[in-house]
Structure 1
Amino acid sequence: MAGKSELERRREERKGEKRDATLYLNERSTQQQLELLLNKAVRLKPDDLFGYLTRELSCLALPVTVYQVTGSRIIDLGGETAVKVTVHCTINGVSEVMQSAICSFPLPVVVTPVARSQSSLSRNSKQNSVTEDPVQPDVSANSLNTVEEIVTKSSELLKNKKIAELESLDTCLKSLDVSLPDEVTVCMCASWTISLALAKSACDLLHKPLYELLFAMNGVENETVCPPVVVARMLSGGTVSNGKLKIRDFSVIPAETDYEEGIRNVCKFHKALGSVLSVKYGPSALAVLADGSYAPSLDKPEQAFDLLQEAMTMSQLEWKTHLLLAVNINASCGYDPEKNRYELTSGQWKTRDDLLTYYTDLKEQRPELVSLENPFTDQDSGSWCKLSERLGEGFTLIGETGRPEASDEDKPEQDIQSVESLSAMVDKITWNSQSTITQLCQTSRTIMSGTRQLLLNCDSNVNSDCVADVAMGVQTKYLKLPAPSSFDFLGIYNRLVQIYHHLKSRDNKSDSRS
């Protein structure tokens, strides 16, 4: 009797399982859907039956949604603590780990005594004795806690949102209400990193590269796509070096019409420059900054130009034929508002007119020079206009986005003209300065809707695996990169070449079809 009751119990369990299975399948109309698909497949007779069924069944699946966003502390290349942001998605009812991005904190801005405004000094009297020594990065516990708080709140906001709807996700990120520390850049950096991880996750699911996702967001047609012009930092001065030279950095730009060959020339030049510095200053001169550039002790601009010329000779390249020159003056850090003077070399002060003459003469002496970045303060719009007029077409002036416009009374009578109207101007956006991918796309569209162009500036605190895709996707005219001094940075250059060849081969295929 005991065996019989056990048998009956098992039968009842099996009947219950069958009832549950039937109910589960009927609620989802499984049999009807499969019959429709099989009948359709019989009519079409595709060669890859199971591939066809897989594609059709995927259309019936629930959309992939965000399950959670997590943050974990890691150590970055500089030995500082960073936060790795990881996106988890619900796929077919199961939580899966997707893509990650690194939230490295921006290096602090080093401000010289003369550049610091009186108002900022009064706000912090302890900093009245400011030196020009480089300030080391200081990632405070507050900053790390803030990033983790932002990640936690974003996870709550984004839960169950469709991962493919990136613009909607970014809108949620912009609505974050977080008690911020003094540095607003920390919140911006965290929000940008989350947005980047979401975009990379969406690309994984859509089986397309990040730049193509951004093409769709920006409404970019394949026929109009142009790869960004690379601006590669080579030499650095200012507060990051021990010399008297205040100019921030010297960069090279490929002049080759062949994109890959231009990138190759940049790498050859950087290697040759290292050899020149090693011979002149010893092996210790081969040490590079976080952005990959060399920072020898230089006291005047001519020394930098001579080193670049020696590297050009050693690399068997030629100015204008293979490479062009760009200089970041960073005049704001050498400007004294009380003296109303600029300082490009310690102890040597120049008026606006002196600088105008210097830049004009420099362009005549060095025809390879095609760009100046921040040659005057943002407010000195009259001098920007004069310089643009003197240097003429074909020369590029680069300034910060959102540059304040001087009032008419501050401008000379002949210069009642906004810097914003200069066609030679390029607006610079720094990586991490936008809160989301969507905001970067909107900013780039706004800038390039007129006659202006965009430069995306990337320092060492970047997610190097997606810099090239983002720059290509938003169609920035210029991409300022760290020198190719490490595998991470070199990977950005190689990715640019890879995307270029992919787009080129696709264009060739479309031409052959037509």
Structure 2
Amino acid sequence: MSGDCCRATAGLKQSGERSGARSRRSNMSYKSALKAEQELYELKSRAAEYYRANRVPHTLEELLNQLFAEKPSDIYGYMANYFSRLAHTPVISSIAGREVYDSRGEAALQVDVYCMVRNEEKLVCSAVNTGLDEHRAESGDAVADDNHQQASVATALEWIREQLSSMLCGFNPAHQTQLDKVVSDFLMARYLEEQDAHNSNIKSEEEEKKIERAPEATPPPQPAQNKDKKGEKGKKRNSVEKLIPPLDPPPPVLPGAVVAAAVSLAAAKSAASLTAVPLYRHIITLRDPQALSAVFMPIPLLTVLSCGKASAGKLNLLEELILLPTRTYSTREIVVMGCELQREIKRISTSTTTSKTGPAVLGVSEGGALQLSLERSEQALDLLMEACVNLKLPMGTELRLAINCAAHKLMDYAKGKYEVMAGTLKSPDELVDMYVGLVSKYPSIAALINPFRKEDEEQWLKLSSLIGHSCCLVADAAYSPCWRDAKPLPQGVTWVTLRHGSEMTLTDLLHTVSQRAGTDGETILAVSSEEIGDDSMVDVAVGVGVTFIKLGGLSGGSRMNKYNRLQSIELELQEQGILGMRQMKLPWEQEEVELNPEEANLIGAEQCLQTNRD
């Protein structure tokens, strides 16, 4: 009996303990639920405050009202466009560089710009620069080392990876001036570092030479020379030969400076892409937003013939014969004239009945023009004039000729003369006479490009005084970055040719063109033949507002893409009603006697041919 009572008492005790545990658990669950509910309430309150602070309810209400009012077919597309307009302005998150190859198989730099777009990192645009300034390569100033270009690209890649990418992170790509200044300041700092290292090396070498240098013996006195008559005659004969000015020392080159042009253009293309506008329109807004009311197209300079040093014949002087329109032609009209002219030249050159020009070996130059094997300058010009007469082209009035002489390629420094034809050398003064004769014989020649080296300043001025009333002299205006002094142009230069060199940012190009706009001369933007399938430079030419763009001949896919892009921009501006009409006037046109255009064309060309026949 007592045992049963004990067991009953123990059972009641265990039952009470279980009941207490359940009660405690119930209290804990209630407290946890209460705490969770409190936390959820606080979270909802913070979320509501966050949404109110960022005007999310107001924005959604506006969106839903507009959506219901317009009832678009693509509801979510409409919503995506609505929200994209409210997104933050994209900024650069990083830039990356890659080594690619140009049309010659040489190393070139490609820069890729990545931006944070709606909270995602995206590759926006790329730009490529060959890293070789064409005018420096042509003039022989390029570094002799074949690996220089590849080393320059490698240096640029290292700078991008280790410094420039982080320096440009957070930049709005539309802020072109500030971005270009960062890049220019960076290059200036690298140049100063390189100069310090170079000067330090020179100083160390000089000190080593001083230590190793032995005392030099006094040289014996020179015996007196006999001044015979024969020697006197020799001295007199040598004094007649006029020494040419020495070649200017090559400008200092900063390895890796190719990064300037590539990064600058890539940023501009990215800004245009992010705002969904053409590149030329973006550049115009950088130059002058009001200029969008009337956009003037650059006039294409189309190369028809090439009879330069690379051609098979003896003639070296006529590197390029270029069509120079002097009235407003559309790009299509100029291209059609160029095609017809080349076909006619081919027909005349290959005709067995041609006795005046003789047989010519046909080919295509590196610049995309017909390449002929000719002996004299007159042969090429007569051939071109004959083709114009046959096609009734307005050569002499609405069409003129520009000749790229590329004389800096022809100088024989050992003899101090220009090799204008194989085996035929002419001094700078003799070359002046030759140009005067050509311009007087062929009045359609309106411009001579690079007729001398820049060092022959006396001949530039002399030629300008003789033919400046009827012919423009054109020289390359080499851009000089902040770390070197700019070389002044020779006196007598009328127009200049610019190139978007490897060291030149887009801001530099805009500044250079605007400076030229304040002068009476015109500006030509020459586009390198080595560019890698990119027509961006056509947009750049339209955007910066140059008068002419020199694209080369009508051959090669990359080159024809540029002509097609030029025509596309022209049609786009015409459709928008903002295509400006550029009035091209040569300096001497006011003094010319006005004739019926058709009569003047035929008379001018036929007179040239008749004069040559006589």
- TM range, normalised to the smaller chain? 0.7 to 0.9
Shift of 1:335: 3.7
- Alpha-carbon offset, residue 364 of structure 1: 2.1
Amino acid at match of 1:450: T
Pick which of 293-302 and 188-197 moved more: 293-302
Residues in 2 aligned to 1:432 and 1:445: alpha-carbon distance in whole angstroms: 17
Partner of 2:103: 77
For residue 318 of structure 1, report the CA deviation from its aligned partner.
Answer: 4.9
In structure 2, how many angstroms separate the alpha carbons of the residues matched to 1:235 and 1:461?
19
Query: Within the alignment, does 1:380 sit opposite 2:456 as a pair?
Result: yes
1:46–1:52 CA contact under 8 A, matched in 2: no
CA shift, 1:459, in A, is: 1.9
Q: Compute the RMSD of aligned alpha carbons.
A: 4.5
**Displacement, 1:287?**
4.4
Mapped to 1, the partners of 2:439 and 2:371 lie a distance apart of 24
Distance 2:67 2:379 in 1: 73
Q: Judge which range, 467-476 or 482-491, deviates more.
A: 482-491
Counterpart AA for 1:252: L
Q: Give the aligned partner of residue 477 of structure 2.
A: 401
Shift of 1:389: 3.3
User: Is 1:155 matched up with 2:165?
Assistant: yes
Code of the aligned partner of 1:398: V
CA distance in 2, matches of 1:357, 1:387: 8
In structure 2, give the amino acid aligned to 1:460.
Answer: S
| Cα pair 1:80 1:139 within 8 Å, conserved | no
- Picking from 152, 158, 161, the partner of 1:143 is 152
Residues 419-461 of structure 1 show CA distances to partners (whole Å, capped at 9, x for unaligned) of: 6775x71121123255211111011111112223211111212
1:269 correspondence with 2:329: no
Selected match of 2:574 from 501, 504, 513: 504
Tell me how far 1:59 sits from its aligned partner: 5.3
| 1:105-146 deviation digits (Å, cap 9, x = unpaired) | 43777989xx879xx9xxx9xx8xxxxxxx9x7675423312
Is 2:304–2:338's contact at 8 Å kept on the other side of the alignment? no
Q: Distance in 2 between matches of 1:22 and 1:222?
A: 50
Greater CA deviation, 309-318 or 260-269? Answer: 309-318
Identity %: 24
Match of 1:441 in 2: 510
Aligned to 1:414: none
Whole-Å separation in 2 of the counterparts to 1:116 and 1:75: 22
Q: How does 1:45-64 map to 2 (within 5 A)?
A: 47=70, 57-58=83-84, 60-64=86-90
Q: Is the Cα–Cα contact under 8 Å of residues 297 and 579 in structure 2 kept in the other structure?
A: no
- For residues 158-194 of structure 1, what are the alpha-carbon distances to aligned partners after superposition, in whole Å with 9 as ceiling and x for unaligned? 1111122122211121122457799837634332122
1:103-502 to 2 correspondence within 5 Å?
103-106=129-132, 141-152=150-161, 153-177=163-187, 178=190, 184=253, 187-219=256-288, 221-223=291-293, 225-247=295-317, 248-255=319-326, 257-259=328-330, 260-273=332-345, 287-309=363-385, 311-312=387-388, 317-320=393-396, 323-335=399-411, 341-393=417-469, 395-401=471-477, 425-462=494-531, 464-502=534-572
Matched, 1:32 2:55: yes
CA contact (8 A) 2:363 2:372 kept: no
Paired with 1:31 and 1:344, the residues of 2 have a C-alpha distance of 74
C-alpha separation between the residues in 2 aligned to 1:116 and 1:227? 33
- Displacement of 1:80 in angstroms is 3.6
Judge conservation of contact 1:468–1:496 (CA < 8 Å) in 2.
yes
- Specify the SS of the correspondent of 2:364: coil
Distance 1:356 1:216 in 2: 44
Could you list the runs of 5+ residues in structure 1 that have no partner in the other structure?
128-134, 405-417
Q: How many Å separate the matches in 1 of 2:547 and 2:37?
A: 67
Q: Is the 8 A contact 1:82 1:104 kept in 2?
A: yes
After superposition, what is the alpha-carbon deviation per residue over 1:269-295, rounded to whole angstroms, capped at 9, x for unaligned?
3454456666799x9955434321344
Structure 1 residues 252-261 or 496-505, which shifts more?
252-261
- Output the CA distance in 1 between the equivalents of 2:475 and 2:36: 75
TM-score in terms of structure 2 length? 0.65
Distance 1:509 1:81 in 2: 38
Question: What's the secondary structure of 2:525's corresponding residue?
Answer: strand
Do 2:460 and 2:491's aligned partners in 1 also have CA atoms closer than 8 Å? no
Quick check: 2:109–2:131 contact (8 Å CA) kept in 1? no
Q: Which structure has the larger Rg?
A: 2
Q: Alpha carbons of 1:57 and 1:399: their partners in 2 closer, same or farther (altered >3 Å)?
A: same
What secondary structure does 2:55 align onto?
helix
AA at the equivalent of 1:448: A
Cα displacement (A) at 1:324: 2.5
Offset of residue 68 of structure 1 = 1.2
Q: 1:372 to 1:171 in 2, by over 3 A?
A: same
Counterpart Cα distance in 1 of 2:343 and 2:37: 74
Q: Provide Cα deviations, 1:183-240, integer angstroms capped at 9, x if missing partner.
A: 8376343321221111111101111111111111111523553211211223334443
How far apart, CA to CA, are the structure 1 residues paired with 2:521 and 2:253? 28
The alpha-carbon deviation at position 322 of structure 1 amounts to: 6.4
Secondary structure, aligned partner of 2:453 = coil
The amino acid of 1:155's aligned partner reads S
Structure 1 residue matching 2:186: 3-state secondary structure = coil
Distance 1:300 1:14, change over 3 A: farther
Aligned length: 475
Describe the superposition over 1:2-35 as per-residue Cα deviations: whole angstroms up to 9, x where unpaired.
xx99xx9999999989976864664464663441
How far, CA to CA, are the matches of 2:529 and 2:579 in structure 1?
37
202-211 or 145-154: bigger deviation: 145-154
Amino acid at match of 1:161: F
Query: Gaps (5+ residues) in structure 2?
Result: 1-21, 199-250, 481-487, 581-614
Alpha-carbon distance between aligned partners in 2 of 1:509 and 1:157, rounded to the nearest angstrom: 39
User: How far has the Cα of 1:61 moved from its partner?
Assistant: 2.5
Give 1:384 deviation, angstroms: 2.5
Residues of 2 paired with 1:158 and 1:403: CA distance? Answer: 25
Paired amino acid for 2:528:
D
Following TM superposition, by how much is the alpha carbon of 1:252 offset from its aligned partner in structure 2, in angstroms? 1.9
Q: Residues 15 and 403 of structure 1: is their aligned pair in 2 closer, same or farther, counting only changes over 3 Å?
A: closer
Shift of 1:397: 1.5
> Is the alpha carbon distance of 1:310 and 1:208 closer, same or farther for their aligned partners in structure 2, counting shifts above 3 Å?
same
